[in-house]
């Protein structure tokens, strides 16, 4: 199945997000994959009904997730549409800004691969168990869904550092190598060391690093309710049969959730030593807004520009008139703690209210853009606040030759061609010909460079990641440095898959191609390390009251527990599901 069945929310997605979407090929899922999903879901629903937030079980029903089958994304989309959401499949981790922007569009990103049986309890790689069984059910709660959408809307504007992208690439590769079978240990050790080194040398955390911490301690690993008896709502916990039990013990410290969580880093490869407990979903939104108030998105000013400049990435500066300059900021001239001139390099676009200004596309500002900011020297009235009469009085008028001296020793001298106004009538842009712009003795623009467009604004009110108008730039540039590694095929593996399929067919009332007895003998003889199929066989025999044969299978599983202590608790967990309601 190579098509993507849509829903209206997916149709609305911009092209730069669509580049991450891949079709979910349902035929890729093997009988072992289906058995892994089924085991985790049966364990989860059994256990989480006692410890998860009450929205979880309601959400399982509302989002159409089945215990017996890995979800088909296309079926999920039809059901998610009812609660105003959609889901798309992607290949593993995608960049954090993109991940959050999907959320802002009410679209859940689902890594469609599924963990190997060897990693049934936990995988650092995002997979359909984590995304489908963890994130999807809880968004059926409208208050939480709005928090998630709002988080995406704010988070995708967070300014990153070059360090963040390096960290994203390293974590993506680590998750892929750890999940892939047969990765040499020295390769895993090397990339783990790189992740550790990066984590220990983050320097001052960027906005993206801080907001990712908030995302981790809420959306992924959040607890809710009474701090002494909390419930689970974080998807990382909801989808991990190991950690959902571990987190409820006294081994994990419980801390009241507040903005300090932004400064608590995490290690994606290990169980969490502490978790944050929010009293309710309203507190999540309150802390998010508190954090957003610290972001350049809302503070603007010199500090916001410095963040954007240090990111060395495409971002947007918004001035007090509402004009938005999108490009890579390379230079900020300051005076007495305020920015007085900004300069971008390369393709730059000008916008107003997220819509590109006609005639100010990247093709026009292909070499960059520079403009003074602030008030004129000796005049208390800013240009943006001048009435038409004031503008005429100061010779800021079409056809006039004028010299404008700004605070901070920026001088613009040239002949005014025209001005551009916003919908409220405020002047937001003035264009000059034969223009020279200087800062003291430094020339910032000279007449032979062509027309000089000067943005009007007395202060920087906002600075954020990405362009104001997404259609201004070609953002179709995602080439992941690594792709997820599929399970290796072998004759032995294919034979084991056939045995799993046979038991699945029997359970579903379809014609088997081998008896249960023959399947079990084949399993014992040729696949002595596999334990999950024997658990499934025990389940079938219990239903059919095949007591004598069942005892043989249980004895075999007890031996497996002795020979492979690392999976003993998983075998016990599977047997508990079969016998917990019986007096055995």
Instruction: List the binding residues for Fe cation.
Output: 130, 135, 220
With the CA atoms of 241, 243, 244 and 247 taken in that order, what torsion angle do they form, in degrees rounded to the nearest 10?
Answer: 160
Sign of CA dihedral 447, 398, 322, 383: positive
Q: Which residues of 444-470 are buried (b: 16+ CB within 10 A; e: fewer)?
A: bbeeeeeebbbbbbbbbbbbbbbbbbb
The Cα 143–Cα 131 span in angstroms is 19
The Cα 385–Cα 379 span in angstroms is 11
CA 400 to chain centre: 51
Q: Please give the full DSSP string across 111-122, using - where no structure is assigned.
A: E-----GGGSS-
**Residue 151, both tokens:** 């988080």
CB 375 within 8 A of CB 458: yes
Rg of the chain in Å (alpha carbons): 29
Q: What are phi and psi of 357, to 5 degrees?
A: -70, 135
Could you list the residues known to form a binding site, using ranges.
130, 135, 220
Which stretches within 312-413 are classed as H helix?
388-393
| Nearest in space to 71 (alpha carbons), one of 120, 24, 118 | 24
What angle in degrees, to the nearest 10, is found between the helix axes of 207-215 and 162-179?
40
Beta bridge partners of 120: none
CB 492 within 8 A of CB 121: no
CA 570 to chain centre: 31
In the three-class reduction of DSSP (H, G, I as helix; E, B as strand; rest coil), residue 550 is classed as helix
In 21-97, at which residue ranges do the beta strands (DSSP E only) sit?
Answer: 86-90
**Residue 122, both tokens:** 């936990």
**Residue 135, both tokens:** 């994130």
| Nearest in space to 503 (alpha carbons), one of 489, 480, 520 | 520
Helix (H) / strand (E) element for 540: namely: helix 532-543
The Cα 362–Cα 348 span in angstroms is 5
* Alpha-carbon distances, residue 521 vs 147, 281, 499, 524, 549 (angstroms): 52, 52, 11, 5, 12
**Residue 201, both tokens:** 């040398």
Enumerate residues 6+ apart whose C-beta is below 8 A from 348.
325, 326, 327, 362, 365, 368, 369
**Residue 69, both tokens:** 């089958």
Residues across the chain: 584
Pair type for strands 253-256 and 274-278: parallel
**Residue 334, both tokens:** 């300051």
The Cα 33–Cα 442 span in angstroms is 66
């Amino acid at each position: 199945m190579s098509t993507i069945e849509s829903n209206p929310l997916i149709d609305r997605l911009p092209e730069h997000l669509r580049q991450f979407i891949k079709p979910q090929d349902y035929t890729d899922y093997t009988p072992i994959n289906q058995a892994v999903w089924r085991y985790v879901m049966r364990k989860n629903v059994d256990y989480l009904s006692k410890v998860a937030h009450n929205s979880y079980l309601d959400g399982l029903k509302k989002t159409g997730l089945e215990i017996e089958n890995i979800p088909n994304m296309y079926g999920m989309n039809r059901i998610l549409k009812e609660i105003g959401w959609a889901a798309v499949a992607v290949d593993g981790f995608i960049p954090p800004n993109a991940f959050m922007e999907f959320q802002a569009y009410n679209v859940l990103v689902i890594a469609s691969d599924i963990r190997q049986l060897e990693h049934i309890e936990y995988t650092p790689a995002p997979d359909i168990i984590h995304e489908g069984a963890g994130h999807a059910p809880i968004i059926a709660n409208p208050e939480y869904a709005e928090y998630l959408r709002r988080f995406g809307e704010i988070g995708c504007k967070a300014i990153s550092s070059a360090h963040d992208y390096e960290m994203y690439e390293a974590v993506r590769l680590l998750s892929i190598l750890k999940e892939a079978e047969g990765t040499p240990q020295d390769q895993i050790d090397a990339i783990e060391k790189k992740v550790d080194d990066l984590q220990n040398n983050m320097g001052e955390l960027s906005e993206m690093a801080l907001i990712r911490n908030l995302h981790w301690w809420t959306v992924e690993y959040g607890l809710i309710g009474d701090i002494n008896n909390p419930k689970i709502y974080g998807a990382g916990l909801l989808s991990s049969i190991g950690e959902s039990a571990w987190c409820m013990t006294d081994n994990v410290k419980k801390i009241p959730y507040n903005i300090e969580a932004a400064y608590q880093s995490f290690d994606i490869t290990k169980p969490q030593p502490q978790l944050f407990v929010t009293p309710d979903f309203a507190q999540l939104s309150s802390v998010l807004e508190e954090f957003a108030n610290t972001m350049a998105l809302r503070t603007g000013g010199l500090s916001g520009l410095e963040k954007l400049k240090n990111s060395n990435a495409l971002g947007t500066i918004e001035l007090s008139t509402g004009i938005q300059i999108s490009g890579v900021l390379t230079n900020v001239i300051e005076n007495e703690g305020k920015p007085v001139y900004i300069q971008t390099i390369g393709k730059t676009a000008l916008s107003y209210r997220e819509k590109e200004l006609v005639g100010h596309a990247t093709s026009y500002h292909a070499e960059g853009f520079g403009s003074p900011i602030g008030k004129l020297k000796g005049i208390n009235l800013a240009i943006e606040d001048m009435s038409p009469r004031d503008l005429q009085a100061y010779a800021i008028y079409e056809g006039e030759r004028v010299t404008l001296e700004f605070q901070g020793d920026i001088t613009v001298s040239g002949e005014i061609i025209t001005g551009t106004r916003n919908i409220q009538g405020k002047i937001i842009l003035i264009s000059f010909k034969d223009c020279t712009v200087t800062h003291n003795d430094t020339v910032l623009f000279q007449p032979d460079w062509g027309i000089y467009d000067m943005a009007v604004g007395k202060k920087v009110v906002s600075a954020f990641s990405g362009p104001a108008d997404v259609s201004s730039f070609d953002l179709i540039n995602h080439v992941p440095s690594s792709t997820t590694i599929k399970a290796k095929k072998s004759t032995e593996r294919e034979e084991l898959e056939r045995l799993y399929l046979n038991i699945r067919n029997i359970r579903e009332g379809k014609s088997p191609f081998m008896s249960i007895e023959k399947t079990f003998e084949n399993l014992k003889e040729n696949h002595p390390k596999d334990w999950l199929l024997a658990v499934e066989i025990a389940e079938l025999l219990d239903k059919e009251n095949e007591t004598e044969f069942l005892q043989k299978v249980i004895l075999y599983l007890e031996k497996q527990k002795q020979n492979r202590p690392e999976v003993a608790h998983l075998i016990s967990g599977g047997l508990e599901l079969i016998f917990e309601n019986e007096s055995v």
